[in-house]
Amino acid sequence: MKTLLNNTSNASNIINGFTGFNRVKVTNSSNENNSGSKFHFSTIKTAITGENLLKPKANTEMNLGQIPNLRDVCLNLFNTFFINDAPYSALQFVPILEKLQTINQDQIRRFLLNPETNHVLIQNDLIKVVLIHWKPGKISSIHGHPSGGCVFKVLQGQVEELRYTTDASPQLLSSSTYMAGSMAYIDDRMGYHAVGNPFNSPAVSLHAYTPGIKK
Ligand SMILES: [Fe+2]
């Protein structure tokens, strides 16, 4: 992947759509930990099919309509490992998530009734995909995304992201609010972050990471 995307939003930005992204050329030079063994990755690619890609629980919940039907986007996210070479980066998921349109409101309404709020849709050595319902007031801890990083897309409501320095006493670097349809990318070269919903309405976001299992 030659041309990648980088979120360079400034403090207190409110970003609609993808205008907050500047196209920049980056290297994956610090992603050696994600280069892995080609044999190992090819083994995973061969073992995973459209039938067993989703976690069984997520598959059941999609069948029951308890979480939105994201089968196609999950498959397309996984397929990016066939068209990109290691070291992998969550930036390779951006073109797929850009195409993901707003989720059907009936599916969102049913999802918001689900008492569980964190749903792991896929998790294997290559990729982890998590669908999160952010109830008003729910905020994550400050955390990092080493190696290939994380990209997330807001599917409903608004999500706030606070970015911090990566030292022992993280200092606030920026605050951004992402509207439905917006995306952001982060890895540890850019800082740590906390994500949440300080607003009055529920929010939903889809997060994709690589690698999928922290070593
Ligand atoms: Fe995160």
Distances (CA, A) of 187 to 28, 70, 72, 76, 149: 11, 24, 26, 22, 4
Give residue 30 CA to ligand 1 midpoint distance, Å: 18
Would you place residue 25 in the very low, low, confident or very high pLDDT band (cuts 50, 70, 90)? very low
How does pLDDT run across 137-193, given as a tens digit for each residue?
999 999 999 999 999 999 999 999 999 999 999 999 999 999 999 999 999 999 999
| Interstrand relation of 172-179 and 13-15 (parallel, antiparallel or unpaired) | parallel
Question: Ligand 1 centroid to 5 CA: how many Å?
Answer: 17
- Look up residue 6 and give its two tokens: 């980088």
Region for 121 from its dihedrals, namely left if φ exceeds 0, alpha if ψ lies in -120 to 50, beta otherwise: alpha
Q: Is 10 within a domain?
A: no
Dihedral pair phi/psi, residue 54, rounded to 5°: -75, 145
pTM of the model: 0.83
Closest CA to 124 of 69, 58, 188, 72: 58
Convert the pLDDT of each residue in 68-117 to its tens digit. 999 999 999 999 999 998 999 999 999 999 999 878 999 999 999 999 99
For 192-202, write each residue's pLDDT tens digit: 999 999 999 99
Residue 15, in any domain of the structure: no
Q: Is residue 6 part of a domain?
A: no
Residue 8 inside a domain? The answer is no
Is 24 a residue whose pLDDT tops 70? no
The number of distinct structural domains making up the chain is 1
Write the CB contacts of 37 (distance below 8 Å, at least 6 apart in sequence): none
Domain assignment of residue 68, yes or no: yes
Ligand 1 centroid distance, CA of 104 (Å): 25
Domain extent for 101: 31-209
- Give the pLDDT band (50/70/90) at residue 36: low
- Using the mean position of ligand 1's atoms as its centre, give its distance from the Cα of residue 108 in Å: 22
CATH of the domain at 63: 2.60.120.10
Residue type, 170: P
> E strands within 140-202?
150-156, 158-164, 172-179, 183-186, 192-196
